Amino acid sequence: MIPVCALSDLETSEPIRFEPEGEPPICVVLAEDGEVYAVDDTCTHQNASLSEGWVEGCEIECPLHGSAFDLRTGKVDILPATLPIRTHAVEIVDGVVHVSLSDARPHLPPGVTY
């Protein structure tokens, strides 16, 4: 588990970007349901940071073309993206948000590598 930030640093529906060493960036969100979610920060359609997008309910929308993903499952809710984003396990320990990175291979847009 990687410590990311204090839980108190998160504001509801305001995503933050975290860049673990040697891994694609992660987007961490305190959603309206009170849960903290961690997903890959890169939209699978084109190279855009999801943490610069909008969160409504348990869905995050890409600021570039409006693709939307479910924060709980990573699945695409709104096109043009067709591939899901990875989700990562989150645990709150003593008021600190920790993320355990998924072992799955990330779905990155064409030309993007980490």
Q: What is the CATH number of the domain that holds 27?
A: 2.102.10.10
Residue 42's pLDDT band, with cuts at 50, 70 and 90, is: very high
* pLDDT value, residue 109: 83
Q: Which residues of 6-44 are buried (b: 16+ CB within 10 A; e: fewer)?
A: eeeebeeeebbebeeeeebebbbbbbeeeebbbbbbbbb
* pLDDT greater than 80 at residue 37: yes
Q: Which domain holds residue 58?
A: 2-100
* pLDDT greater than 80 at residue 114: no
Domains contained in the chain, number: 1
Within a domain: residue 106? Answer: no
Within a domain: residue 82? Answer: yes
Alpha-carbon gap, residue 110 to 15, rounded angstroms? 24
